[in-house]
Amino acid sequence: MGFHMAGHLTRSKHEIHVFNRSYLKAKGWTKTHKGFAIKSLNNLSQSYDGIFLCLKDDDAISDILFKSKLIESIKAGAFIVDHSTTSLKLVNRIISDNQIAAKKITFFDAPISGGEAGAINGTLSVMLGGGNKNILIVRKLIKTFAKNIVHVGPNGHGQLTKMINQICIAGLLQGLSEALSFGSQKKLDMNKVLDAISQGAAQSWQMENRAETMLNNKFNFGFAVDLMIKDLKIALLEAKSLDLNLQTTKDVLDRYNKLSKNGFGNLDTSSLIKLLK
């Protein structure tokens, strides 16, 4: 995701420096894009106007921001935009950090949706949480790789919106898996079935983009099962704090856990249908 998003950022005409924990990946990025690869985040010679993050989980972000000396190389009054999906606990840790507060660095929790295809095509959706300071420049930069940017509220609201997004996707994919399995076992022409229902109330992005690949047993389209497990656990933890029982989400999480334990953790999230075959 970050590889392609950083590539789009080069169209902003700003000087782009990229870092990956695998330096070879960062160096590889410079072979196809105009920018510079960073080997270490400690003792950087540059001072940065802004930082974009897109990482796997809370621990990875904590390592980048707090265990390295990256914050020392961020200018006073600059911004940090985190496109990762994280817990609210991490958001609160970042905005309350003494160094970030002292340098008046603006933080935006800005999780994304749209998958790898959205990152490649520059058509991601961004759920932006944070204040108004620096928001105009941040919006302008995000527009290089996103088609839909909604400032949903203060810090934390971006992550809460992403939790809602993942809850919706989980339920949709389980329902689509059951429907496709039902039709296939009834020996229906599923291409005609999809033509008949895809313009009605059953239509969804998942049906439009994943139904055919699910029927063809193809599950190499980006966002992986193991990442969805992480995201749903975050959502369910917040629901628990509200004493809210999200039973469908729990059931789908159990199914994803089963897929992962069976060695399918790297398949995309539409692979739920494999449990019905």
Which pLDDT score is estimated for 155? 98
| Same-domain pairing of 173 and 145 | no
| For residue 222, pLDDT beyond 80 | no
CATH of the domain at 113: 3.40.50.720
- Same-domain pairing of 182 and 249: yes
**Torsion angle in degrees (nearest 10) through CA of 156, 224, 12, 73:** 60
Spatial separation of the C-alpha atoms in residues 236 and 256, rounded to whole Å? 14
Shared domain check, 131 and 33: yes
pLDDT given for residue 69 in this prediction: 86
Give the pLDDT score at 46.
Answer: 87
Domain end residue (candidates: 128, 154, 180): 154
Q: d(Cα 119, Cα 93) in Å, to the nearest integer?
A: 28
First to last CA, the chain: 31
- Please tell me which residue, 117 or 149, carries the higher pLDDT value: 149
Exposure string for 84-102, b = 16+ CB within 10 A, e = fewer: bbbbbebbebbbebeebee
- Residues 149 and 182 reside in one and the same domain: no
Final residue in a domain of this structure, among 154, 173, 200 = 154
Are both 146 and 172 inside the same structural domain? no
Q: CA triplet 135, 54, 234: central angle to 5 degrees? A: 95
Task: Give the DSSP letter of residue 224.
Answer: B
Q: How far apart are CA 42 and CA 47, in angstroms?
A: 12
- Mark which of 154, 173, 208 sits at the end of a domain: 154
Nearest to 19 by CA among 8, 28, 10: 28
**Above 90 in pLDDT, residue 277?**
no
Q: Given this model, what pLDDT does residue 117 score? A: 87
166 and 150 co-located in one domain: no
Number of domains in the chain: 2
Supply the pTM of this predicted model.
Answer: 0.94
Residues marked active site are found at 162
Average pLDDT of the chain, as a whole number:
96
Q: Within this chain, do residues 95 and 23 fall inside the same structural domain, yes or no?
A: yes
Confidence band for 115, pLDDT divided at 50, 70 and 90 = confident
Confidence tier at 116 by pLDDT (50, 70, 90)? confident
- Same domain flag for 150 and 166: no
One domain for residues 33 and 135: yes
* pLDDT tens track for 43-92: 888 899 999 999 999 999 999 999 998 999 999 999 999 999 999 999 99
Looking at the structure, tell me whether residues 11 and 138 fall in a common domain: yes
CA–CA dist 50, 105 (Å, integer): 9
Do residues 196 and 242 both lie within one domain? yes
- CATH number for position 225: 1.10.1040.10
Q: Residue 158 above 80 pLDDT?
A: yes
Summarize pLDDT for 185-211 with one digit per residue, the tens: 999 999 999 999 999 999 999 999 999
Indicate whether 168 pLDDT > 90: yes
Same domain assignment for residues 118 and 214: no
Which structural domain range is residue 228 located in? 160-276
